[in-house]
Structure 1
Amino acid sequence: MTGKRPLLAGAAAVCGVLLVAPSASAEVEPGGWTSQSPSFSVQERGCGQVDNLTFKLTCSTASGDQRAERRYATYTGGTRQFEGYFKITSMGGTRISLKQTFRDAPDAGPYFMLAVERGGRLYAVHGGATVASGATVGTTVRVNTVHQVGSSHRTYINGSLKHRYDSPGGSYYDKFGAYRTSSGNGPATVAWSNIKFWRK
């Protein structure tokens, strides 16, 4: 009887390791991903306010730089996946950018911007294509972007592929929060949660 105890204890220890091991399983396009925790900086400009993962534009100004965002570290090459959930808790304005993939130097500038209109239409800022509907006040929406640098950038809403761009090579970074587009205005409050990053 005593000879069996170490075996049982060892099995319990192995089970414990399996239960607590971190998972790199991504929600979309599974297989071969490695979890990441990139650094970020907080950007507050104009009437933008950031409180952890709550992003507010407190004014209705339709000009100037009005933003409340997190800007993540630059990446170059490979395939990157972002995942996050957002819930618009108030929307007095319209045409607010929620998630962005930006090009970094030497070709710095916006590459893909996912924005929302009052009423819940999600759209690509450049080109204006509708990405999805239903992003109304109080509704939680999951966003995944999969960026294969030098090939394509794919956007999933609630697990379904909704938009695809060709992608040149270069350096990029992710941003999310609440940002007034050139044709938009606040006020707006957006709460983000469950932010994850992977690469392969």
Structure 2
Amino acid sequence: MRTKILATAGLTAACGLLLAPTAHAEVEPGGWTSVSPTFNVQERGCGQVDNLTFQLTCSTASGDQRAERRYATYTGGTRQFEGYFRISSMGGTRISLKQTFNESAAGPFFMLAAERGGRLYAVHGGDTLSNAGTVGANVRVNTVHQVGNEHRTYINGSLKHTYSSPGGSFYDKFGAYRTSSGNGPATVVWSNVKFWRK
């Protein structure tokens, strides 16, 4: 009887180990510390934010049309962002989804945007990163930023873009934002957003 109880306890412990969620889902694993930066919600023009749903409700091709979360500023070290987005509707095109903003230079440093049809591209330079951004698809985005060295962007776990980085102060933004050549309407739903540093 005692042997049976011990065996059951051992099996339960083993199952607990097997069923425990993985501690790290990020790319480039090793040495990361999870962080929870504060954020502000930004709604401008026809932008509307409802928790993690971001909408541009108009087709206006001018002015500041945005629905975003702006996270706290960081300087130095290496930072990683991870999140999943799903474009639930795209009546417009060329909508920015994720930005790494260079506060020191007062402008966006890296912008990931989507065109109608699913092309994901880097706004500065125009490089195509993926064609995974079709309406209804869940897409995982990771950015790894070594301040003063390099910024790397992963789509669905694959490295798609590298960009030399200056030093200075930066922050992350995500949501739905009309680029200078874009317009809405668009609805983007984000989920499972995480941040790390090392």
State the match for 2:123 in structure 1: 125
State the match for 1:158 in structure 2: 156
Q: Deviations over 1:77-125 (max 9, x none)?
A: 0000000000000000000000000011x42211000000000000000
State the match for 1:46 in structure 2: 45
Q: Percent identity?
A: 82
State the match for 1:180 in structure 2: 178
Q: Which residue type is aligned with residue 108 of structure 1?
A: A
What is the rounded CA distance, in whole Å, between the counterparts of 1:26 and 1:51 in structure 2? Answer: 26
Unaligned runs of 5+ in 1: none
State the match for 1:66 in structure 2: 65
TM-score scaled by structure 2? 0.90
TM-score scaled by structure 1? 0.89
What is the rounded CA distance, in whole Å, between the counterparts of 2:177 and 2:134 in structure 1? Answer: 17
Aligned residues between the structures: 196
Query: Displacement of 1:54 after TM fit?
Result: 0.1
Q: Deviations over 1:16-72 (max 9, x none)?
A: 89x88x965242000000000000000000000000000000000000000000000
Q: Which residue type is aligned with residue 93 of structure 2?
A: T
What is the rounded CA distance, in whole Å, between the counterparts of 1:56 and 1:193 in structure 2? Answer: 15
Q: Which residue type is aligned with residue 151 of structure 1?
A: N
What is the rounded CA distance, in whole Å, between the counterparts of 2:157 and 2:16 in structure 1? Answer: 31
Moved more, 63-72 or 130-139: 130-139
Q: Deviations over 1:134-193 (max 9, x none)?
A: 210000000000000011000000000000000011010000000000000000000000
Q: Which residue type is aligned with residue 41 of structure 1?
A: N
State the match for 1:30 in structure 2: 29
C-alpha contact 1:122 1:135 (8 A) present in aligned 2: yes
State the match for 2:165 in structure 1: 167
- For the pair 1:145 / 2:161, whether they are aligned, the reply is no
RMSD value, Cα: 2.3
